[in-house]
Amino acid sequence: MILLSAFNGIEYMVKQLYSDFDATITIRSANGKTFDQKEFPYGKLKNRDISSYSKAIEEIVVIKHEQKWLNANLYGVENSFLLMSDMKNHLVEGEAYLTKGKIPFAIAGAGLLEKLQAYVHDEKDDYEYLELYFPLREAKMSIGSSPFNSEFVRLSASFNFNKDVNHESVVLPLEFAQEQLEYGDDISCIYVHVPEERKISKVREALQQTLGSKWVVKTQFEKNELIYKTSRTEKIIVIGILIFVFIISAFNLMTAIIMSMLEKKKDIFTLLSFGATKKNIFYIFFFNGLMIAFKGIAAGLVIGYSICLLQLWGGIIRIPNANNDIFPIQINFSDGILILVIVSSLSMMATYIPVKYLLKKLKRHE
């Protein structure tokens, strides 16, 4: 129970880290890297399960601060993206806004700013500037011309999602990014937000069917498929190891029942002489074995759930080198039912087989 709850917690933590920044559904053109935003049928996004969407540009840019240079992933988005990604609750410093009046602002990953030795200023109207180099779409290499468009951008905030996003990402207003990249009305994709996780796959299928083959619709799970598959595979391996441990425990139960029947061999013959049938003897030892097993199951589940709740409420175990964060635990009662079913099935088999076998042997020696 403790192992499964710990894996549930880790899986939930990974999902939270990646899912908050990654849109639940991303729509791209099947015919190229970008498409004209006017060509997309936005009316088909009217779905009660979709709360909002944001047009977006994804590109690689170069960022300079003083003497530091870095490549970064640029996300040009609309203001709705800040709500979709729950940006407010992932801020390290500053306030989450992309424009003030007509002035564009950048929100950058905390790790990226650390590499650049740039900081979000505490004083109002006092901003750190980053120099961004945008690759020009139609640029041609020639002497005296630059393939980049450079612009200084004020920094409004820094965020913390996960290592990759923190160290490689900068968020800018969509229109500003389009202008600097000379994209015109072109965008890279559309981010769609579906609040309820259980409905994501259903919405994706509906959108893909409605939009047709001209568009590619992917969920956040499909974008980060390796992460989620790895997490699920690890959990399956843990369940496999637990089943192996349960099988070994079942052999211990079989041994206990065999020893009990051998010790009470005389008592069995006494009961038979008083008119008890083989069926009566079978039920006595069979249910005795089940009682031993279910006492162990009940004790294990109670202790397991108690330790998990203690960690959940008290935070006894901390993650080393992670700002003293509490080790994540997520209790799923379905895991308890799974353990109950597996252990009960093995216990019934471990009890039935030796009792049935020894009673047959007993019949031969009568």
SS3 for 22-33, per residue? CCCEEEEECCCC
Going by pLDDT thresholds of 50, 70 and 90, the confidence category of residue 324 is low
Residue 97 confidence (pLDDT)? 93
Of the listed ranges 56-60, 102-106, 199-203, 286-290, the least confidently predicted one is: 286-290
Of the listed ranges 177-186, 240-249, 298-307, 315-324, the least confidently predicted one is: 315-324
- Say if residue 216 is in the same domain as residue 75: yes
Paired tokens of 95: 């306030």
Residue 115 confidence (pLDDT)? 93
HSE-up of residue 357 (Cα within 13 Å, Cβ side): 11
Cβ neighbours of residue 363 closer than 8 Å, sequence gap 6 or more? 278
- ∠37-85-22 over CA atoms, to 5°? 70
How many folded domains does the chain comprise?
Answer: 2
Is residue 3 assigned to a domain? no
Contact 59, 69 (CB under 8 A): no
C-alpha closest to that of 112 among 173, 59, 155, 174: 155
The residue type at 304: G
Is residue 2 assigned to a domain? no
Of the listed ranges 28-42, 90-104, 250-264, 312-326, the least confidently predicted one is: 312-326
* pLDDT tens-digit series, residues 112-165: 999 999 988 877 778 889 999 999 876 565 555 667 889 999 999 999 988 889
Is residue 89 assigned to a domain? yes
- Say if residue 256 is in the same domain as residue 277: yes
Task: Give the 3-state secondary structure of residue 191.
Answer: strand
Of the listed ranges 52-66, 115-129, 304-318, the least confidently predicted one is: 304-318
pLDDT mean over 104-118: 94
Last residue of a domain, one of 194, 220, 246: 220
Last residue of a domain, one of 196, 220, 244: 220
- Say if residue 204 is in the same domain as residue 255: no
Paired tokens of 210: 């409605």
- Say if residue 205 is in the same domain as residue 263: no
Buried-exposed string 192-203: b where 16+ CB fall within 10 A, e elsewhere: bbbeeeebbeeb
HSE-up of residue 67 (Cα within 13 Å, Cβ side): 0
What is the pTM for the complete model shown?
0.68
Element (H, E) at 225: helix 225-263
Is residue 215 assigned to a domain? yes
C-alpha closest to that of 34 among 59, 61, 71, 54: 59
Contact 206, 47 (CB under 8 A): yes
- Say if residue 291 is in the same domain as residue 151: no
Residue 132 confidence (pLDDT)? 95
State the Cα–Cα distance between residues 77 and 61, nearest whole angstrom: 15
Is residue 207 assigned to a domain? yes
- Say if residue 101 is in the same domain as residue 145: yes
pLDDT mean over 213-239: 80
Contact 107, 75 (CB under 8 A): no
- Say if residue 169 is in the same domain as residue 260: no
C-alpha closest to that of 182 among 217, 135, 234: 135
Is residue 143 assigned to a domain? yes
Is residue 8 assigned to a domain? no
Last residue of a domain, one of 185, 220, 255: 220
- Say if residue 185 is in the same domain as residue 243: no
Range of the domain at 94: 23-220
Is residue 112 assigned to a domain? yes
- Say if residue 330 is in the same domain as residue 215: no
Cβ neighbours of residue 348 closer than 8 Å, sequence gap 6 or more? 290
Average pLDDT of the chain?
Answer: 85
Buried-exposed string 76-109: b where 16+ CB fall within 10 A, e elsewhere: bbbeebbebbebeebbebbebebeeeeebbbbbb
- Say if residue 129 is in the same domain as residue 194: yes
pLDDT mean over 25-41: 93
Longest dimension (CA), the chain: 111
- Say if residue 266 is in the same domain as residue 164: no
- Say if residue 167 is in the same domain as residue 41: yes
Residue 323 confidence (pLDDT)? 57
